[in-house]
Amino acid sequence: MSITKPIMTSEELLAHWQGHRNLTRRFIEAFPEKELFEFSIGGMRPFSDLIKEFLAIAVPGLTQMVSDEPVEFDEERKELKTKADLLKAWDESTEKINELFGKISAERFHEEVNLFGQYKYPVIYNIQYFIDNEIHHRGQGGVYLRALGIQPPFFWER
Amino acid sequence: MSITKPIMTSEELLAHWQGHRNLTRRFIEAFPEKELFEFSIGGMRPFSDLIKEFLAIAVPGLTQMVSDEPVEFDEERKELKTKADLLKAWDESTEKINELFGKISAERFHEEVNLFGQYKYPVIYNIQYFIDNEIHHRGQGGVYLRALGIQPPFFWER
């Protein structure tokens, strides 16, 4: 890395992500129970499956970054059957993300990690991917909500 | 800013954004001409209008950050009537973004700018918002493409 213009700290990136995660939480709340698990457009996954993907990525991904031990990717999570289940799992992840993020050193952010045995990139690229992936799929969820006649939470409120 | 763990440089943030912009360009290409300007779901804007929003934000926003002079927000762009028009405007913005980004000093990223007279945040927050907003609305465009029976460009290809 050439640190010619360092412009962001670890703490700022974490705050940015948790702001997005807070918004995603409000998207979960905005879905009616049934549609959260069933509604889709164009053969895409229901919003609950996207949330399970985010859960499968965040804490397990950070765990591998911190431990440097291989971690399995598992987005099945069949035990998460209700909106309340998803919100509880979400909140538990929020705490664990804060804890794990603090254990990543500045140097570590630019070391490669072979995430889930298949995404071999520097730690920071993988974390940016986590955040971008969440924003991308949340945008998809916003169209689902609009198609259901529901106003999505405002994008700029975190 | 507490620079306890600087983890990203200006150059890296620019490369990240241009990677996303390259993906957005392929989304524009993926839309059929007519649907690019007309197709929508749930009363949302067609994808061409979202592209015009991105164009209205990027170069004008960076121009204000560099000059510190007020800049108007204009997403009308009635002269952009075809896919070719949008792609040409997109490519022109790509060059200008590279040029303007290089003029923002490391210190400037953490100074406040009252963007378009209404978004008063540090420069870096506004730039992160530009990127996140593009990812969010591109996710919306992905649902449009799926609903049209078109496979969207892969999210992970930049």
Residues of B in contact with A1 (CB under 8 A): 9, 12
Instruction: Kindly state whether residue A24 falls inside one of the protein's structural domains.
Output: no
Instruction: Kindly state whether residue B158 falls inside one of the protein's structural domains.
Output: no
In this prediction, residue A143 carries a pLDDT of 97
Interface of chain B toward chain A, CB-CB under 8 angstroms: 1-13, 16, 20, 41-44, 105-106, 109-110, 124, 128-129, 132-133, 135-140, 142-149, 155-156
CATH number at residue A44: 1.20.120.450
pLDDT band at B156 (very low <50, low <70, confident <90, very high): confident
Q: Tell whether the torsion through CA atoms of B25, A154, A12 and A123 is positive or negative.
A: negative
Tokens 């919003």 found at: A47
Task: Kindly report the nearest CA distance between residue B19 and chain A, in angstroms.
Answer: 12
Nearest residue, CB atoms, A5 vs list B1, B10, B137:
B10
Say if residue B2's pLDDT is above 50. no
Put simply, the answer to whether B7 touches A8 (Cβ < 8 Å) is yes
Structural domain for A60, as ranges: 29-147
B50-108 pLDDT per residue, tens: 999 999 999 999 999 999 999 999 999 999 999 999 999 999 999 999 999 999 998 99
In this prediction, residue A95 carries a pLDDT of 98
**B31-49 in b/e burial notation, b at 16+ Cβ within 10 A?**
beeebbbebbebebebbbb
Angle (nearest 5°) at CA A156 between A150 and B4:
140
Residues of B in contact with A103 (CB under 8 A): none
- Reading the block at residue A102, the tokens are 């603090």
Computed over every residue of chain B, the mean pLDDT equals: 94
Put simply, the answer to whether A136 touches B138 (Cβ < 8 Å) is yes
Alpha-carbon torsion angle B24, B27, B29, B33, nearest 10: -120
Backbone angles phi, psi at B87, to 5 degrees: -65, -40
Per-residue confidence of chain A (158 residues) as pLDDT tens digits?
444 567 899 999 999 999 999 999 999 999 999 999 999 999 999 999 999 999 999 999 999 999 999 999 999 999 999 999 999 999 999 999 999 999 999 899 999 999 999 999 999 999 999 999 999 999 999 999 999 999 999 987 77
Residue of A nearest to B2 (CA): A9
In this prediction, residue A5 carries a pLDDT of 67
Task: Kindly report the nearest CA distance between residue B22 and chain A, in angstroms.
Answer: 15
B121-141 pLDDT per residue, tens: 999 999 999 999 999 999 999
Instruction: Kindly state whether residue A88 falls inside one of the protein's structural domains.
Output: yes
In this prediction, residue B1 carries a pLDDT of 42
Q: How far separated are the first and last CA of chain B, in Å rounded?
A: 30
Put simply, the answer to whether B20 touches A132 (Cβ < 8 Å) is yes
Instruction: Kindly state whether residue A154 falls inside one of the protein's structural domains.
Output: no
Say if residue B158's pLDDT is above 90. no
In this prediction, residue A2 carries a pLDDT of 43
Return the number of CB contacts < 8 Å for A and B: 134
Say if residue B4's pLDDT is above 70. no
Instruction: Kindly state whether residue A158 falls inside one of the protein's structural domains.
Output: no
Instruction: Kindly state whether residue A124 falls inside one of the protein's structural domains.
Output: yes
In this prediction, residue A4 carries a pLDDT of 58
In this prediction, residue B81 carries a pLDDT of 97
Instruction: Kindly state whether residue B154 falls inside one of the protein's structural domains.
Output: no
Residues of A in contact with B137 (CB under 8 A): 139
Q: Which of B1, B7, B121, B146 to mutate to test the interface with A (most CBs of A within 10 A)?
A: B7
Report the candidate in B37, B33, B35, B44 with the shortest Cα–Cα distance to residue B146.
Answer: B35
Instruction: Kindly state whether residue A152 falls inside one of the protein's structural domains.
Output: no
What value of ipTM does the predicted structure carry? 0.92
In this prediction, residue B3 carries a pLDDT of 46
Put simply, the answer to whether A5 touches B11 (Cβ < 8 Å) is yes
SS3 for chain A is CCCCCEEEEHHHHHHHHHHHHHHHHHHHHHCCHHHHHHCCCCCCCCHHHHHHHHHHHHHHHHHHHHHCCCCCCCCCCCCCCCHHHHHHHHHHHHHHHHHHHCCCCCCHHHCEEEECCCEEEEHHHHHHHHHHHHHHHHHHHHHHHHHCCCCCCCCCCC
Report the candidate in A125, A128, A153 with the shortest Cα–Cα distance to residue A139.
Answer: A153
Tally of domains in chain A: 1
Q: Tell me if residue B119 falls in helix, strand or coil.
A: strand
In this prediction, residue A42 carries a pLDDT of 93
Residues of B in contact with A136 (CB under 8 A): 135-136, 138-139, 142, 155
In this prediction, residue A89 carries a pLDDT of 98
Put simply, the answer to whether B146 touches A8 (Cβ < 8 Å) is no
